[in-house]
């Protein structure tokens, strides 16, 4: 380690006094102007991680759905997964070290993780379209090179594309070719082959409007379009040519406001979807003939995909186990539908993709989605081998199902949730099943729910257990929530400190048993009962909500400065 060079270069990336940041759910995220030193230091850390794992490590510069002025950085581990939790602590230590202590903190980490400093290091870098991203990624490069690591700068990439590149490079190209063309070709080939078997091929089925949040997704989907045009025609909106990143558009806006983004022309019953700013999240939606907006979020996506996979697995007649992983934010109706109708086991983990991903790896086929649209499906090596073998051996219906599964494996990004890949899977499933977006939406009816952020003096006063569904601190809080929710049918509520923002998140849902029974039994509902039911459903959720927001509850949270 050339310590003189390190001292010299770190002086160009000085840490602002008193700034403390935490490697959170999705790396570091804050205003772009505070991040230069963090970028440099993450370049350093990526070199250590690369030396330790003897593998290529990824660094992605993005702040996903945050406002354009923000930025962020996260490290990608060898198989394209999120940085190991034990290293998150090292990242936090290194980012917060005062300039004069940087060397010693770096040496400390090297010793703790037993890095062989003579080992080669290789780091790949990607960035989103934010105005600050290019300069910040240069600071990462500076950090890598000062420690003698080699760099490949991919420039503009979606977050999932960078994860894909890392995975490809560490499997010597077995997973795919580590270029954007390699990514486009692999996914498009699988998609075209899969949809080639679709019975219904009307034009309407092949059209999709995509809100790209004025982000990197527009650029990359635009490049990729010609590769799959025979299977699907996509029309891009919010492509970055005019509007601002994530501003009144994108998956996060649509999910949190439950309304369409600006900048998209939506006609009744047209199928539309939104990506977030770095294209790792997707939600679908449409407007019905009465002009009502319908959102199909990550839970609806998980349901559609799980049903499809379950059918294929039954058809090939192999005992491959399927598990679905959700978080506490999953709508109760989706969990119930998955367990009782699709008949797949459902597991709940803490918020954050790394937790879901980790759990999903326990199954032959692990489906995971956060309600906000972040997710994918993982196939175990054993399942993949079995499916590939069956696709070759069998003739008939079984082999057709095995071939479909083979393409599905290639179509899903096995490294992380990916808006482009998920979009192609969903489009393929809808085409193969001959489903309209309304029919998909009608699989189950969401329980009415509300989610809100509350700013408190210190969000860490709340700690949780049971996958964040129960508060253990402060004392008495959970009892107060229990008292409230037990008054309502199918009601559920929880609070937890956010891992990405300085807020506490509050979630509540409730319903009447009647509407669930109706939905499951598939009984037709005339307009009148629908309206009556709508009234009682709204009333139930409002009551839970108002109680949660009452002074009794707020008293537990300390000083509230705002909520919205």
Q: Report in angstroms how near the CB of residue 281 gets to ligand GN1 at its nearest.
A: 8
The residue (of 186 and 374) whose beta carbon lies closer to ligand GN1 is: 374
Token pair 């199909």: residue = 296
Cα–Cα dist 242/502, whole Å: 31
Region of 153-161, 459-467, 471-479, 500-508 interacting with ligand GN1 (CB under 6 A):
500-508
Could you say whether residue 279 binds ligand GN1 (CB under 6 A)?
no
Q: Burial of 330 by CB count in 10 Å (0-12 exposed, 13-18 middle, 19+ buried)?
A: buried
> Which 370-409 residues touch ligand GN1, going by CB under 6 A?
370, 372, 374
The residue (of 64 and 195) whose beta carbon lies closer to Mg ion is: 64
Q: Report in angstroms how near the CB of residue 416 gets to Mg ion at its nearest.
A: 10
The residue (of 13 and 459) whose beta carbon lies closer to ligand GN1 is: 459
Write out the H or E segment, with its range, that includes residue 196. Answer: none
Q: Render the burial of 475-507: b for 16+ CB within 10 Å, e for the rest.
A: eebbebbeebbeebebbbbbbbbeebeebbbbb
Could you say whether residue 352 binds ligand GN1 (CB under 6 A)?
yes
Q: Report in angstroms how near the CB of residue 499 gets to ligand GN1 at its nearest.
A: 3
The residue (of 149 and 373) whose beta carbon lies closer to ligand GN1 is: 373
The 3-state secondary structure of 462-514, one letter per residue: CEEECCCCEEEECCCHHHHHHHHHCCCCCCEEEEEECCCCCCEEEEEECCCHH
Q: Report in angstroms how near the CB of residue 226 gets to Mg ion at its nearest.
A: 25
Among 96, 505, 509, 511, binds ligand GN1 (CB under 6 A): 505
Contacts of 54 (CB under 8 A, 6+ apart): 119
Token pair 């997710």: residue = 375
Cα–Cα dist 376/368, whole Å: 6
The residue (of 56 and 449) whose beta carbon lies closer to ligand GN1 is: 449
Maximum CA pair distance of the chain?
A: 77
- Long-range pairs for 106-113 at CB < 8 Å and ≥24 separation? 106/1, 106/6, 106/44, 106/48, 107/1, 109/45, 109/48, 110/48, 113/48, 113/52, 113/87
Could you say whether residue 263 binds ligand GN1 (CB under 6 A)?
no
The residue (of 44 and 353) whose beta carbon lies closer to ligand GN1 is: 353
Point out the residues that are catalytic.
64
- Please, are residues 334 and 299 in contact by the beta-carbon 8 Å criterion? yes
> Which 53-72 residues touch ligand GN1, going by CB under 6 A?
64
Q: Report in angstroms how near the CB of residue 405 gets to ligand GN1 at its nearest.
A: 28
Q: Report in angstroms how near the CB of residue 335 gets to ligand GN1 at its nearest.
A: 16
Residue 394 has which token pair? 């069998």
Q: Kindly list the residues in this chain that would bind Mg ion in the complex (CB under 5 A).
A: 64, 276, 278, 280
Among residues 175, 192, 73, 182, the alpha carbon closest in space to that of 128 is found at: 73
Region of 42-50, 345-353, 375-383, 407-415 interacting with ligand GN1 (CB under 6 A):
345-353
Cα–Cα dist 424/224, whole Å: 12
Could you say whether residue 160 binds ligand GN1 (CB under 6 A)?
no
Please identify the residue of the shown chain whose CB is closest to the bound ligand GN1. Answer: 499
Q: How many residues does the chain have?
A: 564
Cα–Cα dist 364/367, whole Å: 10
> Which 77-116 residues touch ligand GN1, going by CB under 6 A?
none
339: DSSP letter: I
Say how many residues touch ligand GN1, by CB under 6 A.
15
Among 106, 353, 423, 443, binds ligand GN1 (CB under 6 A): 353
Among 10, 13, 21, 25, binds ligand GN1 (CB under 6 A): 25
Could you say whether residue 500 binds ligand GN1 (CB under 6 A)?
yes
Among 469, 499, 529, 539, binds ligand GN1 (CB under 6 A): 499
- The listed partner (ligand GN1, Mg ion, none) that binds 352, CB under 5 to 8 Å by sort, is ligand GN1
Q: Report in angstroms how near the CB of residue 273 gets to ligand GN1 at its nearest.
A: 17
Residue 43 has which token pair? 């370049």
* 135-to-66, 277, 302 alpha-carbon distances in Å: 18, 18, 38
Q: Report in angstroms how near the CB of residue 280 gets to ligand GN1 at its nearest.
A: 8
Q: Burial of 1 by CB count in 10 Å (0-12 exposed, 13-18 middle, 19+ buried)?
A: middle
Nearest 5°: phi and psi at 159? Answer: -55, -50
Among 501, 514, 525, 563, binds ligand GN1 (CB under 6 A): 501
The residue (of 211 and 276) whose beta carbon lies closer to ligand GN1 is: 276
Region of 13-21, 79-87, 497-505, 521-529 interacting with ligand GN1 (CB under 6 A):
497-505
Contact positions toward ligand GN1, by CB under 6 A? 25-26, 64, 329, 351-353, 370, 372, 374, 498-501, 505
């Amino acid at each position: 380690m050339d310590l003189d060079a390190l001292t010299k270069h770190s002086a160009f990336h000085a840490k602002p006094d008193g700034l403390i940041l935490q490697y959170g759910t999705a790396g570091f995220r804050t205003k772009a102007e505070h991040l230069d030193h963090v970028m440099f230091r993450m370049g350093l850390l990526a070199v250590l991680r690369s030396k330790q794992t003897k593998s290529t490590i990824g660094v992605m510069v993005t702040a996903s759905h945050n406002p354009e002025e923000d930025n962020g950085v996260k490290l990608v581990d060898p198989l394209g997964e999120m940085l190991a939790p034990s290293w998150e602590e090292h990242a936090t230590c290194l980012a917060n070290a005062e300039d004069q202590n940087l060397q010693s903190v770096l040496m400390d980490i090297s010793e703790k993780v037993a890095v062989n400093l003579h080992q080669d290091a290789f780091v790949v870098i990607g960035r989103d379209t934010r105005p600050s991203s290019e300069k910040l990624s240069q600071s990462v490069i500076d950090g890598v090179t000062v420690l003698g690591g080699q760099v490949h700068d991919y420039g503009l990439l979606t977050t999932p594309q960078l994860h894909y590149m890392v995975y490809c490079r560490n499997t010597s190209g077995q997973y795919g070719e580590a270029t954007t063309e390699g990514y486009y070709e692999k996914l498009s080939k699988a998609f075209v082959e899969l949809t080639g078997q679709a019975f219904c091929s009307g034009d309407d089925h092949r059209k999709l409007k995509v809100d790209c949040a004025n982000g990197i997704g527009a650029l990359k989907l635009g490049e990729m379009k010609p590769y799959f045009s025979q299977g699907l025609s996509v029309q891009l909106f919010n492509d970055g040519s005019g509007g601002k990143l994530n501003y009144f558009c994108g998956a996060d806006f649509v999910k949190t406001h439950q309304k369409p983004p600006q900048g998209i022309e939506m006609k009744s019953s047209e199928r539309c979807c939104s990506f977030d700013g770095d294209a790792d999240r997707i939600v679908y939606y449409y407007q019905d003939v009465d002009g009502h907006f319908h959102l199909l979020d990550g839970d609806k996506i998980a349901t559609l995909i799980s049903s499809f996979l379950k059918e294929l697995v039954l058809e090939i007649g192999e005992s491959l186990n399927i598990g679905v992983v959700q978080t506490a934010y999953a709508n109760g109706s989706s969990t119930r539908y998955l367990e009782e109708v699709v008949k797949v086991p459902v597991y709940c983990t803490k918020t954050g993709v790394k937790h879901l991903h980790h759990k999903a790896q326990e199954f032959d086929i692990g489906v995971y989605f956060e309600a906000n649209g972040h997710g994918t499906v993982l196939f175990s090596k054993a399942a993949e081998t079995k499916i590939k073998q069956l696709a070759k051996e069998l003739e008939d219906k079984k082999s057709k199902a095995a071939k479909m599964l083979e393409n599905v494996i290639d179509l899903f990004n096995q490294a992380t949730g990916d808006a482009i890949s998920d979009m192609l899977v969903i489009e393929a499933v809808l085409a193969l099943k001959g489903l309209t977006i309304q029919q998909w939406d009608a699989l189950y009816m969401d329980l009415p729910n509300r989610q809100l952020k509350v700013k408190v003096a210190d969000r860490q006063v709340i700690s949780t257990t049971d996958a964040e569904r129960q508060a253990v601190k402060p004392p008495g809080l959970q009892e107060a929530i229990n008292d409230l929710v037990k008054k309502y049918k199918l009601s559920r509520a929880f609070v937890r400190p956010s891992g990405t923002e300085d807020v506490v998140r509050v979630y509540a849902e409730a319903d009447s048993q009647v509407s669930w029974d109706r939905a499951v039994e598939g009984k037709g509902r005339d307009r009148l009962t629908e309206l009556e039911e709508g009234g009682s459903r709204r009333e139930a959720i409002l009551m839970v909500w108002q109680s949660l927001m009452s002074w009794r509850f707020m008293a537990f949270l300390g000083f509230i400065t705002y909520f919205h």
